Chain A
Amino acid sequence: MPDTGTITSGGIGDAVQRKEDFRFLTGRGTYTDDINRMGQTYAVFVRSPHAHAKIRSVDTSAASQASGVVSILTGADMVADEVGSLICGWNVVDRHGEGHKAPPHPPLAHDTVKHVGDQVAVVIAETLSEAQAAAELVEVDYEVLAANVDTGSALSGPEIHPEAPSNLCYDWILGEEADVDKALANSAHVTELDIINNRLVPNPMEPRAAIGEYDMATGEYTCFSTSQNPHVLRLILCAFVLGIPETKLKVIAPDVGGGFGSKIFCYAEETTCVWASKKIGRPVKWTSTRSEAFLTDAHGRDHVSHVKLGLDANGKFTALKVETIANMGAYLSTFASSVPTYLYATLLAGQYTTPVIFCNTKAVFTNTVAVDAYRGAGRPEATFVVERIVETAARELGVDPAELRRKNFIQPDQFPYDTPVALTYDTGNYEASLDKAMGMIDYAGFPARRAKSEANGKKRGLGISAYIEACGIAPSAVVGSLGAGVGLWESAQVRFNATGSVSVFTGSHSHGQGHETAFAQLAATKLGIPFENVEVVHGDTSKVPMGMGTYGSRSLAVGGSAIDRACDKIIEKGKKVAAHLLEAAVEDIEFADGNFTVAGTDKSKAMEEIVFAAYVPHDYPEGVEPGMDETAFYDPGNFTYPAGTHIAEVEIDEATGVTEIVDWVAVDDFGNVINPMIVEGQVHGGIAQGVGQALLEGTVYDKDSGQLVTGSYMDYCMPRADDLPSFRVDMTTTACTHNPLGVKGCGEAGAIAAPAALINAITDATGAVTVEMPATPERVWRALQENN
C-alpha cells in the first residue's frame, strides 16, 4: 500500500492529510476520460451554430460514407425509439396555483434548435478524429429564427416554446405583497436598488464525459459519467428518459474533477451514449471539449432584480421587497426551477429580523443554454441582494454599515428563529462572526489606511458581507410539498470486515471535497478504530445503497449524519455481542474509544474482538444475526444554516480602474468541524469563485445573433493565481442543533459571501452606488469618472 502521508490521529477535528492525494499527485486518479472499454467507439455531436432555428433537414449521406464511421444518429432516430424528454425534477407552482411550464427537452433536437450548441446529431466512429472529420460532413439545413437571449427583456422577445407563452416559465411569489407594500409606505426611509447577478459558466477543470456500454448477454447497461449524484442520474435515465429498469443500468462516477453543481444534472450526452451503445452494440465514449463545455454545461445565476428595503427612524429594517427575473435558458434543467425560488427567496431574511418580506420571481426562457445550480445556487443571489441593499441603505443614511447590520441581527437568544420567508434558523451568533472579522481586519484602522492609499494616488474601499445560507435541503416531506420530485435524505452503509477493517459506503459523491478522508475520520472516531482501517466507497450504484449525491453543501450534514447513524447501529449490535461474551446485561455495556465495557468493571472487549465474533459466531448470543454490516438512511429535520462575515479591502488604481484585493478576512460558523484543513480549503475555493464572479467572469451572449461570445478561456476570464490574494480564514462555532454531528456544511460559503463583500468594497472606494459585475477595470474606471 502506498504511503498515505503523515497521520496525526485521524479523529474528528484533526487536520489529517487526505487519503485521496497520493493517487492524484502521482497521476493515478481515474477520471472518466481515463477509462477505455474493449471495442469502444467515439461520439462527436453535431451542434447548432444558431441560437434559434428550425431544422429543415439533416443530411448524413456524405458523413456516413466517411472513413471509420460506425453510425450517425439523429433526433428522428430518438423519436422512433420513443426516447423521453430530459426532465426537470422540481415542479414549482406559480402564484395562480399552476405548475411551471416544462416544454420538451429532447436529447437530440428534431424540429427546432433553441440555443447555440443544441445537439442535432451524433456521429459515432472508430476513432475520435474520424468522428470529428465525419461530423464536419453532416449537412443540416436550418431556417434561422430570431434569437432571444436577454434576461431583462425575454418576456417581450421572440417566443421560444409554444408551451410557454411570452417565454414565461412561472410567475412565483413568496410572502404577502400587500403587507410589504404597506410597511414600505410607512417606513421612514426606503432604499431602492437595481441589481444584476451576472451569468457564470461553472468550469470545473475536468470537462464532462460519458461512456455508455451495453451487455447483450445480460441486458445490462453501464454508464460511466462525471456525475455528482450517480443514483439520481440512474433514476432519471431509467424512469423518465430511456425506460430501463434500475436493475439494468449501473452508473459509475469515478474520480470526478470538480462539479460546482454543473455535474448534478442529467444531460443529453450521457443519455445519448447509453442509448446508442445498445443500438450499435459497442461502448460509446464522449468527452467534452472545453468549447463544448461553455456551450452545453448548465450555467449559473443570471438574475435581474429590483429591490426595496424599508427602515424605520431608528434604522431597523421594516420590510424587503424583491422582484426578480431569472433566466432559465432554453430548456428547464434538472433542478433549475428550484434555484431562483426555494433556494433564493427563502434566504432573503439574511441574518436580520426584517419582519415582512415579499419576493416575486418570474422565470423566463431564452435562447441560451440552461441555467441551473452553480456553487451556492440561489443563495449567492439572495445574499448579494440583501448585503448590497443593506450597504446602500447605510450609505444613504450616513450610518456605519457594520453598525446598521449589528442593529438588525437576529440575536443569539432568539433561536430557533422563524423568518418571514418560511425557514426556521436553529442556531447562530452573527455578531460574534462580525466582531471577529472586524477585529481581524482592524476595522477601526481603515480610515488611516485609506488616507495612506489616497496619498499614493489610490482609492481604497472596505466591504462587508454578512451572509447566511441553508444547506442540506430538508426534510423530504417539506421539499416534497414544495414540488421536489425526490426525497433529500442520504444513505450510508458501514461494513466491518472480519479482521477489523471497515468499508463505509456513502450515497454522497466526492469530486474534490475529500470525503474519503473526512468520512473516514468520522467513522474512525465513532467506532474507536484507527483512521487507516477505514475505506470510503462512493460513486458506483452497484456497490452503494441508493443515495442522493453531493450538492448544496449537504454531504457532511446529511451523508455524514447517515454514517453516524449506521455506526450507532453497529455499536448497538456490538453491545449485544459484548454482553454475551462478557456475561453481562446489554444495558450494562458501555461503549467508548473502541471498547465495550461492563459498566463499573474492567471487563472489556475491543471492537475488533466483537466484530470477529460476529463473523465467526462460535460463541454468540441467540437471536442475533451474524455479521457486522449496517445501513442507515438519514432524513434531516431541517436545513442547516452556516453563516458568517467576510470583509474585503481593495485598492483601486485611479488611472486604470484595476482593482487589487489587498486583504480578505473570512469568519464562518460551520458548526462542528471534522477536518479544519479541508474546511479552510473549501472556504478558499469558494471565495475565489465569488471573486471571479465579482471581478472577472462575465458570460456574454450577443443580443442580436444569440452567439456565446465568451466561449473560451481567452474571453471568459477565469481567476488565475495572480488575480487573487491569500485569504485570512477563521471561525466561530455554534453547533447545529438537529443533526447528530452538530455540523452545518462549508462548501458554498465563500461563493455566497464574496461577491457582495467585493462590490461593497469597490462601491465604497469609487463612491458609485453600484458597479455591475464583473467589475472590470473599464467599469470601475467609468464609475470613478462618474463619481469624482
Chain B
Amino acid sequence: MPSISLTLNGRSVSGEVETKTLLVDYIRENQKLTGTHVGCDTSQCGSCVVHVDGKSVKSCTMLAVQVDGSEVTTIEGLATGEELHPMQEAFRQNHGLQCGFCTPGMVMSAVDLVAGNPDISETEIREGLEGNICRCTGYHNIVKSVQAGAKAMGG
C-alpha cells in the first residue's frame, strides 16, 4: 500500500492508503471527518466538495493518493474555532440550508466560486453552483447566501 502525507485542515497527516481509495472515503473513513458527504455515485451531486490546494474538487472524483503533498480543506476546517467563515455565516443568516446534507459541499463550492468576485451576479452564482444539487431549498436562499457571503468575504 502506498503511503501519503498531506495537510488536512491545517494539520499534517500521513499514512498508508489503498490505491483504489477515493479521497472522499479517505476523509470520511480513514480520517473520520464526516462533514464531507456522499450523495450520489456518478459525481453529479457535489455533496462531497472539498478544497485541494484552495480549489474546490468533488472528492469522489479523486483518489486519495492524488492528494499526496497537497493541502486539503474540508468543511470542518473552514471555521476558526467557533467563529464561522463569512460564507457559513451568510448561509445561516439567509436560511441557505434546510436538512444540511448538501450544505458542506455547497459552502465549499461557494467559497471557491466567489473568490475574487465580491459582486458576483445571481446568474454567475446559479451557473457556478450547477454541480451542486440541493433538494430542500429550491436554491433561492442559497443564491442569496452566496451573494451575501461574497460581499462579506470582500473578494
Contacts and interface: CB of A to CB of B under 8 A. Distances in A.
Contact of A27 (B36, B126, B138): B36
Given A18-B95, A27-B35, A34-B34, A722 B133 contact: no
Contacts of B76: 26-28
B138 A727 contact: yes
Interface in B56-88: 74-76, 78-79, 82-84, 88
A29 B100 contact: yes
Contact of B100 (A257, A687, A722): A257
Given A721-B132, A727-B140, A22 B99 contact: no
A712 B42 CA distance: 7
A689 interface: yes
B130 interface: yes
Contact of B126 (A677, A685, A721): A721
Contacts of B44: 712-714, 718
B143 interface: yes
Instruction: Bin chain B's interface residue count.
Output: 35 or more
Contacts of A21: 91-92, 97, 100
A214 to B, nearest CB: 24
A684 B137 contact: yes
A323 interface: no
Contacts of A207: 38-39
A256 B104 CA distance: 15
A678 B95 contact: yes
Interface in A10-24: 17-18, 20-24
Contacts of A677: 95
B92 A17 contact: yes
Nearest to B101: A257
A722 B100 CA distance: 20
Nearest to B43: A713
A513 B98 contact: yes
Interface in B96-152: 97-104, 107, 122-123, 125-127, 129-130, 132-143
A598 B38 CA distance: 58
B37 interface: yes
Contacts of B41: 289-291, 712
Interface string A254-269: 0111101000000000
B134 A205 contact: yes
B98 A685 contact: yes
Contacts of B79: 25-26
B13 interface: no
Nearest to A681: B95
A220 B92 CA distance: 39
B39 A684 contact: no
A689 B129 CA distance: 18
Contacts of A646: none
A258 B100 CA distance: 8
Given A25-B107, A290-B41, A256 B143 contact: no
B92 A685 contact: no
A495 to B, nearest CB: 26
B103 to A, nearest CB: 5
Q: Interface centre among A26, A511, A721, A727, by most B CB within 10 Å?
A: A721
Given A205-B99, A720-B133, A681 B45 contact: no
A30 B101 CA distance: 10
Interface stretch (A1-9, A167-175, A271-279, A730-738): A1-9
B98 A258 contact: yes
A41 to B, nearest CB: 14
Nearest to A34: B34
A24 B103 contact: yes
Interface residues of A, number: 60
Q: Which residue among A22, A26, A511, A712 has the maximum number of chain B CB atoms within 10 Å of its CB?
A: A26
Contacts of B14: none
A724 interface: yes
Given A18-B95, A255-B100, A514-B98, A721 B136 contact: no
B135 A204 contact: yes
A512 B100 contact: yes
A748 interface: no
A714 to B, nearest CB: 6
A258 B42 contact: no
B122 A2 contact: no
A688 interface: yes
Interface string A344-374: 0000000000000000000000000000000
Given A3-B82, A31-B101, A207-B39, A260 B135 contact: yes
Contacts of A26: 35, 75-76, 78-79, 84, 88
A206 interface: yes
A597 interface: no
A296 interface: no
Contacts of B130: 720-722
Contacts of B107: 25
A235 B102 CA distance: 31
Nearest to A260: B135
Contacts of B138: 684-689, 719, 724, 727, 750
Contact of B99 (A33, A34, A256): A256
Given A17-B93, A684-B138, A27 B104 contact: yes
Contacts of A27: 33-36, 74-76, 104
A205 B136 CA distance: 9
A721 B143 CA distance: 8
Contacts of B123: 722
Contacts of B102: 205, 257
A726 interface: yes
Contacts of B143: 721, 726
A721 B129 contact: yes
Nearest to B77: A27
B77 to A, nearest CB: 9
Contact of A25 (B36, B97, B136, B142): B97
A203 interface: yes
Contacts of A686: 138
B36 to A, nearest CB: 7
10 contacts: A6-B93, A205-B47, A205-B101, A290-B39, A512-B136, A681-B95, A685-B137, A714-B44, A721-B125, A722-B127
Interface of A: 2-3, 5-6, 17-18, 20-31, 33-34, 129, 203-207, 255-258, 260, 289-291, 511-514, 677-678, 680-681, 684-689, 712-714, 718-722, 724, 726-727, 750
Q: Which 10 A-B pairs have the closest CB atoms?
A: A27-B35, A257-B101, A24-B100, A688-B138, A512-B99, A27-B75, A713-B44, A684-B138, A512-B98, A34-B34
Given A5-B93, A26-B84, 15 more contacts: A20-B100, A21-B92, A22-B84, A26-B76, A203-B135, A205-B101, A258-B98, A258-B101, A258-B136, A290-B39, A290-B41, A712-B42, A718-B44, A719-B139, A724-B138
Interface of B: 20, 33-42, 44-45, 47, 74-76, 78-79, 82-84, 88, 91-93, 95, 97-104, 107, 122-123, 125-127, 129-130, 132-143
